[in-house]
Structure 1
Amino acid sequence: MPASEYVTGLRAKVGSGLIMFPSVTAVIFNDRGEILLHQRSDTARWTLIAGMMDPGEQPADALIREVEEETSIKVAIERLAGVALHDVTYPNGDQCQMLNTWFRCRVIGGEARVNDSESLAVAWFALDELPELTPYARHRIRTALAEDGPAWFAQPGDEMIPGW
């Protein structure tokens, strides 16, 4: 989807300079234990379903909206899996720091498909057959797989996570 009016307005003021945004990521599993990924249209890389929150939107609401917008499926959130700050530079040069909150989810309805311009493809993958993913995507998957652990977060004093 194109940038929201909020993001467009901010970019008009700061150009491609650094902006911090709250964002969410869905680590979605089906009843076969497969994980849903999408291939981004801007980089052609496979990754988790994610997006920016709108002003006034709760993280869980943003997550459910983003998943449906990008894949046409409905999910139930099972638990908070983690939160971290990470840098993103988009192909057009826009610089961001995303304060990302990720959730473990399960699909409860719909058929996964490309549902907007942000994806080239959407597919379910067995955990032992994942495509190439960034270390950050793998970290979010790993923390979402923990059945009983508390949500992951960077420890005090950690500026950024090495390798992200």
Structure 2
Amino acid sequence: MSTPEYIRRIRATAGQQLLLLPGATAVVFDDEGRVLLGRRADTGHWSVIGGIAEPGEQPALTAVREVHEETGVECEAERVVLVEMLPPLTYPNGDVCQFLDTTFRCRATGGEARVNDAESLDVAWFPVDDLPRLPPFAVQRIRQALKDEPTWFEPARFDPADAPDAGTA
């Protein structure tokens, strides 16, 4: 995923310290029930489509925009299927990020699947029962998008003693 300009500006003053960033993922299905996947240029692995929100951008718009930018496919976000704080990630250049991901089930509405930017090596539709090898991140999101269930999230296990400012009041 390419780094948005606003993050480049933040990095210029914040250095490589941990940045918490909003991300959105799209699990896009066509009318035949196939799922849209992109083979990422950075890893060479097939995965679902996603990216980083721009300032002020609603998460559903981020998902729809990223799909179009990366694949040429137009889609509509139908529902939120998953919200998850991902583990921190350190990039080869030393930058550290942690993404709060909102995953949407989307329906393709137009366009033709193609490599549409430098972030993908390949783009294709796959039957859900004949997927290429995928990272657990993508598998979890596709499975959740296929379910007709409420939005998945990690259950809260809050202990007031673990609060960041516990005992300082």
Percent identity over paired residues: 51
Structure 1 residue 61, shift from structure 2 partner: 1.3
Q: TM-score, normalised by structure 2?
A: 0.87
Q: Note the residue ranges of structure 2 that are not aligned, 5 or more in a row.
A: 159-169
Matched-pair contact (CA < 8 Å) for 1:24–1:101: yes
Q: What's the secondary structure of 1:113's corresponding residue?
A: coil
Q: Deviations over 1:30-73 (max 9, x none)?
A: 11111111011111111110000011111111111111111111
Q: Following the alignment from structure 1 to structure 2, what is the Cα–Cα distance between the partners of residues 91 and 110?
A: 34
Letter in 2 for 1:77: A
1:88-107 equivalence runs, <5 A: 88-107=89-108
1:49-64 equivalence runs, <5 A: 49-64=49-64
Is 1:45–2:58 an aligned residue pair? no
Q: Following the alignment from structure 1 to structure 2, what is the Cα–Cα distance between the partners of residues 157 and 136?
A: 22
Q: Following the alignment from structure 2 to structure 1, what is the Cα–Cα distance between the partners of residues 126 and 32?
A: 10
Structure 1 residue 5, shift from structure 2 partner: 1.6
Length, aligned pairs only = 157
1:1-164 equivalence runs, <5 A: 2-87=2-87, 88-147=89-148, 149-157=149-157
Letter in 1 for 2:48: L
Q: What's the secondary structure of 2:57's corresponding residue?
A: coil
Q: Following the alignment from structure 1 to structure 2, what is the Cα–Cα distance between the partners of residues 45 and 92?
A: 20
Q: Deviations over 1:3-26 (max 9, x none)?
A: 222110122223333111000000
Q: TM-score, normalised by structure 1?
A: 0.89
Structure 1 residue 128, shift from structure 2 partner: 1.7
Residues 112/53 of structure 1: CA separation in 2 closer, same or farther (3 Å cut)? same
Q: What's the secondary structure of 1:80's corresponding residue?
A: strand
Structure 1 residue 152, shift from structure 2 partner: 0.5
Pair member with larger Rg? 2
Structure 1 residue 77, shift from structure 2 partner: 1.4
Q: Following the alignment from structure 2 to structure 1, what is the Cα–Cα distance between the partners of residues 157 and 146?
A: 26
Q: Note the residue ranges of structure 1 that are not aligned, 5 or more in a row.
A: 159-164
Q: Deviations over 1:122-142 (max 9, x none)?
A: 011111211111212111111
Structure 1 residue 94, shift from structure 2 partner: 2.4
Matched-pair contact (CA < 8 Å) for 1:70–1:119: yes
